[in-house]
Amino acid sequence: MKVLKIDLSKYRYEVEDRKDLFEEWIGGTGVAVQLLKEEMDLRADPLSEENVIVFAIGPFTSAYPLASKTVAMFKSPLTGNLGESHAGGRTATAIANAGYGAIVIKGKSKKPIYIVVHNDKVYFRDARVIWNIADSLIVGRIIAERESGRGIRTVMRIGGAGNKLVRYACVTTETYRHFGRLGLGAVFGSKNLKGLVVIGRGSRKIPDRHKYKEVYEKILKLALESDAMKKYHLLGTAVNVNPLNQLKALPTKNLKATRFEKAEEISGEALAEHNLGRRVACSHCPIACIHIAALRIPYETEPYFYKTIMISYDYELIYALGSMLGIGSRDGLLKLIHKVEVYGLDAMSTGVCLAWATEALERGLITEKETIVKLSFGDVDAYLKAIDYIVKQPNEFYRVLAQGVEKASEVYGGKEFALAFGKNEMPGYHVGYATHIGYLIGLRHSHLDNAGYSLDQKLKEIPKPQEIVDRLVKEEEWRQVLSSLVVCFFARGVYKPEIVAEAFEALGYETSPEELKMKGEKIYREKLRLKIKMGFDPDSLRLPKRIFETECFHGKLKEEYVKEALRYWKERYVLPLV
Amino acid sequence: MIIIIDMPKRLVIKDIEKCVGCGLCMFACSRRHGEIGNDYSGILPVSLSGFERGATVIFCRACKEPPCAQVCPTNALTPRKGGGVVYREDLCIGCKNCMEACTIGAIFERRNGKPALCIHCGYCANYCPHGVLGFEEVEA
């Protein structure tokens, strides 16, 4: 596997054969950790020239269905620590077909540019004219029309949020998929990099056609016919809204509640019935879980004129810009999602920041002088304006809010209801202990690190905190294998260790479920070590009081239990690596 | 005596509006050639100026008088019974005339400069998960 290294400071690139890295660390997360270690001064400022971005794919990309993710790794300007974000779309297969296992981006361009990687060539394009276009959809369209490679390319780009260095700006790809979390968009912005196009046409020989076909068919059949992916086949991730609401696990109005009276209105069922207009797929995925709503909006002044916009929705967006903000109208919710999409913001962080700001205003910690517009739960128009302000940053308050809820609550108070974990804004689950312990000890502080929200729903009774930690870490270790293979986590029910080993064998690599699990443990440790080297201190993890005040599926959570879990995690998993 | 006449088949669109742009067809096509990837693929899944407007696939529509065969100087491309062309790669010199000549842009350039195009084998239709593609008999 080859690694393409691009230096924006010198407008140069080189290609290295790094078979060694991929053999030892699989690909994706495993390889990205190593490349970051090799390439970066780990103490660098995330928004400086010294920050490094790695995009990595895996050995199954293009070979098997559902290996459709790309892992981005960088230093996060939101947390000041390791940033890792995964996206679907066509990025992974474009990189694979162009002939690379990873792309490393270093340095900083003097002027705005975007990059085009076309198989073995790299072009640096002038982006001065499009730099200030805030609408990421328009940016994507302009670049797509100007460049070749229709159908075999990915167009990654930032919108206004990345330009303005909002610390939770995302990088958008293929209109609807995102390197969403932890601020990769701001890192692009800081490097004067508006976009990255990869055009890939290429292939490699199948070593054993018979065996390969057999495994391919098996995986495809599992994906299409078993229950392993049924949830994503039908309503998509939005299917979670109603059940979580019933479980008292749907964070509502800045987690003042976990039941939302209007949940039904913004549920996956309601969206499918009233708005679902189309579905699309990531490259090489038969599921097509990307649900796109059609929203018809009349012109403000002229009768019988309409615009119809297509808006991709998922559970996390419905939570962050719906229940968390008390928004119970589908049209309102979709308008907010669209606004966030246009600017290229992380929806979860944006929603949590606005929810905190609303409560801070309610409590008088800030006034309308700060917020400019009167924020109140349920007020769509106010939030639409506030999102403009997060990007445009017309005053000190929004300049601070653009740095995340941790920072905002440091400056203005209200930490007890500032819902961030490891400085990353909260995902949409308040199920129980494993959920929150999962956010805290997860190496990305993401619900997908270890799926604590799912463990909570399976627990018959609450075990000792140590047991929860061990189970979460075990899950996270296996997920390091999946994210190194860059298999979509939604397909985790398909890619069980035995199938993964078989799939490797068909590509000519000997391995076993045991060896894979060991690699998962190793990658987990390497990533944690990298995090520590970047300055991560488990003692600095803050527990927002709010999570102990609002009832969840497990009832009211006890702070001591979570603290005990953190103490154990530190002792058992962190300290041996220091 | 009953004479069974083998009707030629071709790849057809059953319902293009159902396309989700997953590209399983494209990967199937290169697999058919023993390759992982898209270099050999004669079918291209594209978005319609962005996925906001959906997706479609581009491939040979089995012309009765294929312009690509007309401009091929080496007879690497010759008209096929039932429409489209038969492609003999060993005769191809990579002049790219065919790519220029195809009205719908359904001939793609491989890394080696030679064309990748649909020969209506129907393999990809087996992998279309949403009923966009079909493989049907046609009048010769």
* Residue among B23, B53, B108 minimizing CB distance to A283: B23
pLDDT digits (tens, 9 = 90+) for A178-207: 999 999 999 999 999 999 999 999 999 999
Work out the average pLDDT over A197-225.
96
Which two structure tokens, joined as six digits, stand for A497?
Answer: 């260790």
Confidence band of B139 (pLDDT split at 50, 70, 90): confident
Residues of A in contact with B52 (CB under 8 A): 137, 175, 292, 309-310
CB proximity list for B122: less than 8 A, separation 6 or greater: B9, B10, B11, B135
Q: Yes or no: say if B35 and A206 are a contact pair by the CB < 8 Å rule.
A: yes
Residue of B nearest to A62 (CA): B37
Look up the ipTM and state it: 0.95
Determine whether the interchain pair A203/B20 forms a contact, defined as Cβ–Cβ distance below 8 Å.
no
CB proximity list for B111: less than 8 A, separation 6 or greater: A119, A201, A202, B39
Which two structure tokens, joined as six digits, stand for A424?
Answer: 């990353």
Q: How near does any CA of chain B get to the CA of A334, in Å? A: 14
Q: Which site among A118, A172, A201, A282 would you substitute to test the B interface, given the most B Cβ atoms closer than 10 Å to its Cβ?
A: A201
Reply yes or no on whether the pLDDT at A494 is more than 80: yes
SS3 A101: strand
Tell me how far apart the alpha carbons of residues B126 and B124 are, in angstroms, rounded to a whole number: 5
Confidence band of A231 (pLDDT split at 50, 70, 90): confident
Residue of B nearest to A205 (CA): B35
Confidence band of B2 (pLDDT split at 50, 70, 90): low
pLDDT number for residue B52: 87
Q: Kindly state the helix (H) or strand (E) to which residue A357 belongs, with its residue range.
A: helix A347-362
pLDDT number for residue B59: 98
Residues of B in contact with A278 (CB under 8 A): 54
Residues of B in contact with A281 (CB under 8 A): 20-23
Confidence band of A176 (pLDDT split at 50, 70, 90): very high
Residue of B nearest to A292 (CA): B52
Q: Kindly state the helix (H) or strand (E) to which residue A292 belongs, with its residue range.
A: strand A290-298
Sequence spans of domains, chain A: 2-199, 230-415, 425-577
pLDDT number for residue A62: 98
Phi, psi angle pair for A221, to nearest 5°: -65, -45
Point out the least confidently predicted range of A226-240, A366-380, A447-461: A226-240
* Residue among B34, B47, B111 minimizing CB distance to A209: B34
CATH number for the region A425-577 comes to 1.10.599.10
SS3 A290: strand
Determine whether the interchain pair B108/A201 forms a contact, defined as Cβ–Cβ distance below 8 Å.
yes
Q: Angle at the Cα of B33 (from B28 to B38), degrees rounded to 5?
A: 55
Q: Yes or no: say if A577 and A528 are a contact pair by the CB < 8 Å rule.
A: yes
* Residue among A62, A204, A278 minimizing CB distance to B27: A62
Reply yes or no on whether the pLDDT at A509 is more than 90: yes
Tell me how far apart the alpha carbons of residues A206 and B34 are, in angstroms, rounded to a whole number: 6
Determine whether the interchain pair A151/B44 forms a contact, defined as Cβ–Cβ distance below 8 Å.
yes
Q: How near does any CA of chain A get to the CA of B115, in Å? A: 12
How many beta-carbon pairs below 8 A join chains A and B?
108
Q: What is the CA radius of gyration of chain A?
A: 22
Task: Report the Cα B24 to chain-centroid distance in Å.
Answer: 14
The CB density around residue A363, as the number of other CB atoms within 10 Å, is 11
Residues of B in contact with A197 (CB under 8 A): none
* Residue among B22, B52, B111 minimizing CB distance to A284: B22
Amino acid found at A192: N
Give the residue numbers in A contacting B (CB under 8 Å), as ranges.
62-63, 65, 90, 93, 96-97, 119, 137, 140-141, 144-145, 150-152, 174-176, 200-206, 209, 213, 216, 220, 224, 278-286, 288, 290, 292, 309-310
pLDDT digits (tens, 9 = 90+) for B58-101: 999 999 999 999 999 999 999 999 999 999 999 999 999 999 99
Q: DSSP letter string over A536-569?
A: --GGG----THHHHS-BTTBSPPHHHHHHHHHHH
Phi, psi angle pair for A306, to nearest 5°: -130, 150
Determine whether the interchain pair A202/B54 forms a contact, defined as Cβ–Cβ distance below 8 Å.
no
**Closest alpha carbon to A476 in A440, A505, A530:** A440
Q: Which site among A2, A60, A62 would you substitute to test the B interface, given the most B Cβ atoms closer than 10 Å to its Cβ?
A: A62
Q: Yes or no: say if A382 and A325 are a contact pair by the CB < 8 Å rule.
A: no
Fold of the domain spanning A230-415: 1.10.569
Tell me how far apart the alpha carbons of residues A450 and A520 are, in angstroms, rounded to a whole number: 13
Work out the average pLDDT over A23-37.
98
What average pLDDT is seen over chain A?
Answer: 97
Fold of the domain spanning A2-199: Aldehyde Ferredoxin Oxidoreductase;  A, domain 1 (3.60.9)
Tell me how far apart the alpha carbons of residues A19 and B130 are, in angstroms, rounded to a whole number: 37
Q: How near does any CA of chain B get to the CA of A205, in Å? A: 5
DSSP secondary structure code for residue B2 in this structure: P
Work out the average pLDDT over A285-311.
96
* Residue among B27, B35, B49 minimizing CB distance to A204: B35
**Closest alpha carbon to A419 in A399, A443, A402, A436:** A436
pLDDT number for residue B5: 65
Determine whether the interchain pair B36/A63 forms a contact, defined as Cβ–Cβ distance below 8 Å.
yes
Which two structure tokens, joined as six digits, stand for B52?
Answer: 């906001």
CB proximity list for A461: less than 8 A, separation 6 or greater: none
Query: What domains are there in chain B, each with its CATH number?
Result: 9-131 (3.30.70.20)
pLDDT number for residue A153: 98
Q: Kindly state the helix (H) or strand (E) to which residue A269 belongs, with its residue range.
A: helix A268-274
pLDDT digits (tens, 9 = 90+) for A528-577: 999 999 999 999 999 999 999 999 999 999 999 999 999 999 999 999 99
DSSP secondary structure code for residue B16 in this structure: G
pLDDT digits (tens, 9 = 90+) for A470-481: 999 999 999 999
The residue assigned the tokens 């790309």 is A70
pLDDT number for residue A230: 80
Determine whether the interchain pair B46/A280 forms a contact, defined as Cβ–Cβ distance below 8 Å.
no
Reply yes or no on whether the pLDDT at B3 is more than 80: no
Residue of A nearest to B126 (CA): A217
Point out the least confidently predicted range of A295-304, A308-317, A359-368, B49-58: B49-58
Task: Report the Cα A412 to chain-centroid distance in Å.
Answer: 27
Reply yes or no on whether the pLDDT at B1 is more than 70: no
Determine whether the interchain pair B24/A65 forms a contact, defined as Cβ–Cβ distance below 8 Å.
yes
**Closest alpha carbon to A223 in A491, A485, A483:** A491
**Closest alpha carbon to A198 in A117, A100, A105, A113:** A117
Q: Residues of chain A with pLDDT > 90: what percent? A: 98
pLDDT digits (tens, 9 = 90+) for B13-46: 999 999 999 999 999 999 999 999 999 999 999 9
